[in-house]
Structure 1
Amino acid sequence: MRRTDREITDRAWMEEVLNDAVYATFALCDGNEPYAVPLNFAYRDGALYVHSACEGRKVDVIRKNSSVGFSAVLGAEFTSAEAPCAWDMRYRSVNGVGTAEAVEDLAEKAWALNLIMAKYSGRGDHVFTEKQLAAVAVFRIRVRNLAGKRGMD
């Protein structure tokens, strides 16, 4: 990282950003063309969980190439100054890379969906039918690397 003065290496800090972020943008490798998509997600024990329809570009791309990059940003706010080059930004961000894999086990799929629901609704005790679970794809992204960064304080 070029701006080491803004680098955060504290894992707990980075996990807090991931847990507080409303969404992250996921970068997928679609052959010679990158594909970025914002998704809701939940983080637990070194993995991100996302859900999706069972078909579509995102699912097709992940099945062809499981490498995933992601970026989550909190509190982005410009700060102005007299000189244009002195403008800055406040933020907290986490970038990372990982490997996506489909969650096929129905119990784990229900657990992951409840993890996502708990993050956004405060409730993680939903009961899903087998039909509901079959109608949704869930991916676990095992995080290989995280990098934290913050803008000016």
Structure 2
Amino acid sequence: MQFREMRRKRQQLSQEESIGILRRATAGALALLGDDDYPYAVPISYVYADGKIYFHSALTGHKVDAIRRHGKASFCVIDKDEVHGEEYTTYFRSVIVFGRIRIIDDADEKLCTARMLGNRYNPDDEESLQKEIAKSLAHMSMICLDIEHLTGKEAIELVRTKDYFKK
């Protein structure tokens, strides 16, 4: 698959900046091909690790059905969204990811994913995490999005600020 190049290249963030956003943000919108081929986008928490994005889910539902039916997805994270009404614009910074998505079937990978998510949102509480995993893991799906293409973009006003400081 040949992914589109960003049209406004000056606003494109580096891979390092984009990955930094994925590491820093805590939620995004996962977009899937839903029922009757309608787009289905769902807000969701996640963890980024080694070129992959991991999520958790119930065992059944619209999201799980969509993933099982079609293995491609998009995920968007908004890092900055600052409205400047007087300028009729928004100072934004965001990342969009495209890739292959799957339900994790391997028990060891599922456990590892649960631990990554737990440690991300409640760090340094191993005892509580162990209890939660013991209680809930059998009732959860773990999901992996293998990133095939990633782009970050920011408002031209933010780019101009960076350019100013480079002088």
TM score, norm. by length of structure 2: 0.81
Aligned to 2:83: 78
Q: Separation in 2 of the partners of 1:123 and 1:24?
A: 24
Which secondary structure does the structure 1 equivalent of 2:19 belong to?
helix
Q: Separation in 2 of the partners of 1:89 and 1:20?
A: 21
Which secondary structure does the structure 1 equivalent of 2:59 belong to?
coil
Aligned match of 1:66 in 65, 71, 76? Answer: 71
Q: Which range is displaced more, 33-42 or 88-97?
A: 88-97
Q: Separation in 2 of the partners of 1:148 and 1:109?
A: 29
CA 58–124 in structure 1, closer or farther in 2 if over 3 Å, else same: farther
**Are 1:48 and 1:143, in contact at CA under 8 Å, matched by a contact in 2?**
yes
Q: Percent identity?
A: 28
Aligned to 1:37: 42
The count of residues paired between Structure 1 and Structure 2 equals 147
Aligned to 1:139: 143
Q: Separation in 2 of the partners of 1:105 and 1:124?
A: 25
- Structure 2: which 5+ residue stretches go unaligned? 1-5, 159-167
- Structure 1: which 5+ residue stretches go unaligned? none
- Show the 5 A alignment for 1:100-139: 100-123=101-124, 125=126, 126-127=129-130, 128-129=133-134, 132-139=136-143
Q: Separation in 1 of the partners of 2:124 and 2:68?
A: 30
Aligned to 1:2: 7
Question: By how many angstroms is 1:2 displaced?
Answer: 2.6
Aligned to 2:51: 46
Task: Please tell me the root mean square deviation across aligned C-alpha atoms, in Å.
Answer: 1.6
Question: By how many angstroms is 1:66 displaced?
Answer: 1.1
Question: By how many angstroms is 1:14 displaced?
Answer: 0.8
2:32 is the alignment partner of 1:28: yes
**Are 1:49 and 1:138, in contact at CA under 8 Å, matched by a contact in 2?**
yes
Question: By how many angstroms is 1:124 displaced?
Answer: 7.0
Which secondary structure does the structure 2 equivalent of 1:37 belong to?
strand
> One-letter code of the match for 1:15?
I
Structure 1 consecutive aligned stretches of length 4 or more whose deviation exceeds 3 Å: none
**Are 2:114 and 2:137, in contact at CA under 8 Å, matched by a contact in 1?**
no
Aligned to 1:90: 91
> One-letter code of the match for 1:139?
I
Q: Separation in 2 of the partners of 1:37 and 1:133?
A: 21
CA 54–19 in structure 1, closer or farther in 2 if over 3 Å, else same: same
Question: By how many angstroms is 1:90 displaced?
Answer: 1.8
Q: Separation in 1 of the partners of 2:66 and 2:112?
A: 24
